[in-house]
Amino acid sequence: MKTLNLITACIAMSTPFISTATLAANVEGFNFTGYARYGGAFQGDDEKLVTTAGALNGNATGRLGNENNGGEFSLSRTFTNEQGANWDVVVMFDHYSDESWAETGGVKLKKAYASVTNFIASQPELRVWAGRDFHQRPQTDLNDYFWMTHDGQGGGFYNLDLGGVKLDMGGIAQVQGDMVGDNGRYGITSKLHGISLFDSAALSFYANYGFASKKVEDEAFYDTKAYQLAADLYMNGQQLLFRYSNNAKDSVFDLVEDEEAWLVSYNGVVNFSERLGLQYLAAYQYLDVADDNDRSNYNVILRSTYAWDSMNSTWIEGGYNVVDYRHIDAKNSSWKVTFSQNIAIGSQTWARPMLRFYTTVGRADNEYIGFDSTTGDMQSSRLDTVTVGAMFEAWW
């Protein structure tokens, strides 16, 4: 720290454009955080992963032993000024793909923002931010489904205390590919949370609005407006959520005319003993679009967990998923079972880092994957999966 203070003093003396007031902030510390999962998998049949064509509910047959490699790596610096305001400057890169860098863009800049808290005495938890960030991406775990997602560039605030409840709001622009600018799609997001129904239950409400800027006035979606409404209830280790989207599905950036989506999802955990537990998820979603792709998605995932001791555990996950088309006489379905032997830093199911050694078996029966452009016949597929792999997963 003495070296850092000396460098700061030298900069202040040698650079006329930086005042001592600018450098009054105290450097608190450097942080390295993130999430990652990487490993190898041997594909012993038609496909490495089990997926259902047309699925709506994320990794709807279950994510354990059924997901690709990837990670998010974040660097941040924290500061505190003389008035006690706390600042964060954050940058994050991610890499999620088993494809070549030339095809996917490789490592991508996902976060570059600054935020401040404790700058208003009456609102110590209020956090104001601006820049590029992951934004409003609530998730259900067993199917790794971000049932809302509005990552982009803009600004807003979190945890505005309204007297017993808190409000988050943001104005976000969707990033144009991997570029610096936006693509003309914008969203206003909001969340009202901290609503206590009783001791063990908390309720949140979401309301989002999507629109386009003059940048894309020649595009067909320019006059389209989108909105989402959702409610999310946590109670005794269980979560029940409802979401309605108009001209959108998971994001108001979609701006798809005459599209509607309804989602109901229920998940939770039951601990039968200190060692034995069961995680579960059941979800239904219906998508109404302006063509023959109207469909319903039903899925159920069960994951039993047994901790042998404080580090070693065995998980068995089974999943079943159905996609039922409304205007086409077709149903797509898939099932899979994964057996995973784990070594983790703790006995809890969420303890990470974790090493997994797993085997996945399953099948996808897709009666409809599209129409042949030449004959007009409906195309189908039947794909079996047998995969043996090893993977680490960590968040820090």
**166 has a pLDDT exceeding 50:** yes
309 in any annotated domain? yes
SS (H, E, C) 171-225: EEEEECCCCCCEEEEEEEEEEEEEEEEECCEEEEEEEEEEEECHHHCCCCCCCCC
The set of residues, in sequence order, having a beta carbon less than 8 Å from that of 74 and lying 6+ positions away, is: 31, 32, 33, 34, 90, 91, 92, 111
Contact 347, 9 (CB under 8 A): no
Q: What is the CATH number of the domain that holds 243?
A: 2.40.170.10
**Cα 51 to chain center, whole Å?**
18
338 in any annotated domain? yes
pLDDT value, residue 375 = 87
Q: Considering only 19-23, 151-155, 163-167, 239-243, which range has the smallest mean pLDDT? A: 19-23
* % of the chain at pLDDT higher than 90: 83
Computed over every residue of the chain, the mean pLDDT equals 91
pLDDT value, residue 105 = 55
pLDDT value, residue 103 = 55
23 in any annotated domain? no
Which domain, by its residues, includes 162? 28-395
**Residue that is written with structure tokens 């039968």 in the block:** 272
pLDDT value, residue 26 = 61
User: How many domains does the chain fold into?
Assistant: 1
290 in any annotated domain? yes
152 in any annotated domain? yes
230 in any annotated domain? yes
Cα separations in angstroms, 124 against 117, 165, 166, 260: 7, 14, 12, 39
**Mean pLDDT value of segment 145-153:** 98
pLDDT value, residue 99 = 57
Q: pLDDT confidence of 158, banded at 50, 70, 90?
A: very high
Q: pLDDT confidence of 384, banded at 50, 70, 90?
A: very high
Q: pLDDT confidence of 376, banded at 50, 70, 90?
A: confident
pLDDT value, residue 16 = 39
- pTM of the entire predicted model: 0.90
pLDDT value, residue 15 = 40
**106 has a pLDDT exceeding 80:** no
pLDDT value, residue 51 = 96
pLDDT tens for 207-231 read 999 999 999 999 999 999 999 999 9
pLDDT value, residue 98 = 57
How far is residue 6's CA from residue 122's CA, in Å, rounded to a whole number? 36
pLDDT value, residue 257 = 95
**199 has a pLDDT exceeding 90:** no
pLDDT value, residue 74 = 97
22 in any annotated domain? no
**78 has a pLDDT exceeding 60:** yes
**368 has a pLDDT exceeding 80:** yes
Q: Give the tokens for residue 151.
A: 């990552």
pLDDT value, residue 372 = 86
pLDDT value, residue 19 = 39
pLDDT value, residue 255 = 98
CB atoms within 10 A of CB 251: 25
Q: Give the tokens for residue 75.
A: 């660097």
Bridging pattern class, strands 276-288 and 182-198: unpaired
Between 85 and 105, name the one with better pLDDT.
85
B/e letters for 102-122, b = 16+ CB within 10 Å, e = fewer, are: eeeeeeeebbebbbbbbbeee
Between 376 and 105, name the one with better pLDDT.
376
* % of the chain at pLDDT higher than 70: 91
Contact 113, 149 (CB under 8 A): no
pLDDT value, residue 186 = 98
19 in any annotated domain? no
pLDDT tens for 25-69 read 566 789 999 999 999 999 999 999 999 999 999 999 999 999 999
